[in-house]
Structure 1
Amino acid sequence: MIYVFKFITNLILPPGCFIILLIALGVLQYKREKRLPKLALIVVVLIYITSIPLTANFIIHSLEYKFNPPSKLEGDVIVMLGGGASLSSPDISGIGSLSGSSANRLLTTARLHNKTKLPIIISGGSVYGESGTEAEIAKRQLIDLGLDEKDIIQEDKSRTTTENALYTSKLMEEHHFSKPILVTSAFHMERSIINFTNANIKNAIPYPADYFTNAKLTIGFESFVPNSSSFDTTVIALHEYLGMLQLWIKSII
C-alpha cells in the first residue's frame, strides 16, 4: 500500500501533474479537432523522459563511476571543493550551513583527515549574494568535528570549478603541496579533474563522494514513475556534460 501512495503522490506533485494536464488537454483537443496536438505531445514526452528515475539514474551513473576511491591514500593534502551554502541559516556554532552535496563532501573530507592526518584545503567562495562563503562555513564545521584549525586552509574566492582549480593551484604552490587527494561529488569529479589538469595539477587523486546511484543499476516499476527529484538529478547530470563541452570548446579555440 505504501508504494501505491507514493505513486499517487508523484502524480499529484510536479512534474507528474503537468504531464497529466497536458495529456488531458491533448485528449480534449483531439475530440474537438480530430487531430493530435503535436507540440503538447512533444512536451509531454520530454517532461516524462527527463523526470523518470530510469533516465536520471542512467545519466548520473555514467558520471559517478568514471573514478573509484583509491585503495591507498598517498597524497600530501586533501582538497575539498564546495558545492553550495546558505548565508544566514541557523547552525550549531554560527550562521550559514552547507548544502547537501557540500555536507557529504565535508563528511568524507573529515574522515579522510582522521585516517591520514593530512592538511586540508577547502575551496569555495560565495557564488551569489545570498549564498554563504563555503570555505568559511566548512572550516567552522570541521573545527566543530574536532579538527585542528592549523590543519585547515581556506580558499574563499572561487565561484566556479575552474576558479577552484586555479586558486587551489596557487595555494598548493605556496604551501609546497604536489599531490592532492581531490574530494568532490562523484557526478562532479570528471569535470573537476579536467579543470585541475588545465590548472597544471596533473596528478590529483580522485576521491569521489556524495553518490546518487548504486554501483549496479536496477530497473523496477518505480523507474518509470516521474518525480521531481529525478528531474533535478537529470538537470545536474546535463549541467556537468554541458560544462565539459564548454571546456572542450575552449581547448580547441
Structure 2
Amino acid sequence: MLESVLASGGLVLLRDSVEWEGRSLLKALIKKSVLCGEQVHILGCEVSEEEFRDGFDVSINSQLVYHDLFRDPLNWSKTGEALPEGALGALRAMYRRTDPGPVIIALDSLSWLLLHLPCTTLCQTLHTLSQQDTCSGDSSPVKRVCVLGLLHEELHGPGPMGALSSLAQTEVTLSGTASQTSAHILYRRPRQRPTHKVDPTTHLTFNLRLSKKEKEAKDSLTLPFQFSSEKQQALLCPGSGQATSHIFYEPDAYDDPDQEDPDDDLDI
C-alpha cells in the first residue's frame, strides 16, 4: 500500500479524524521514502521537531531535511532560527530547490496551513509545488515530486475540503472499527494535456472571413453618416455672407416624401 501511494506523485491527502490519527501513516510513508533513497523535506507545524523525529532510527533522521515552523511560526523571537517568510515562504522555498531527483515533501499538517493562510493562496502554492516539470532557473527535468499533506477533515468546511480534494492525485481516508484501522484509497488519473491545437472555426456553417470581392465592395461602400463634398465645403469654408447655422438634409435612397400638407384637414 505504501509503495502505491508514493508512486502516484502529485498531491496526496492523508485524511484523518479524532478517532483515527494519520501522523503515524505519514511517518511510515516518510520512512519508506528514505529507505528507497529519496530526499524528504518535512514542514513541521503542529508538533515539535523532537516529537516528530521520535520513533525514527538515527539513519532515518540523518536523511530528513526538517523545516521547523512549530517553534516560532511568526518569527517573534528574531533569533534567525525561524523561517523569515513564514509558512508561505517555506513552501515557496521548497519548489525553488535545485535538486533534480525525486523528492517527497511532507506537510504536518495541511490543516495548520489552511488555518493560517487563505485557501486560494494555499491551493495555488500546492498546485505549483506538486506539478513541477522543471527546476527553477534550470531546464533539467524533475523526475517526481510527491507532496504528502496530513489533513484533519473535521476542522474544515466543505469549501476548503472540496478545493484540496480537486487538487489531489490520491486521497487516503482513515477509518475502521474498534479493533482495526482501515484506509480507503482514491486514485485519480492524471489530466492529459492536448497535443495539438483545434481551430474552433473549422466546422462552422457560415463564413467568418470576407472574400476579395466582398472586401472591395465593403471598402467602396458610402456610409449614411459620411459627409458629402458640398457639406464638407460649407463647413470648412463658409462664405462671408453665409449664416452661421444650417441644416443639411440628404435624402436616403429609400425615403418616401409625402407632398401633401399633413395639416390639410385642420381649419387653421
Q: TM-score normalized by structure 2?
A: 0.32
Which structure would you say has the larger Rg? 2
- Using CA pairs below 8 Å that are at least 6 residues apart, which structure has the higher relative contact order? 1
Structure holding more helix per residue: 1
- TM-score, normalization by structure 1: 0.33
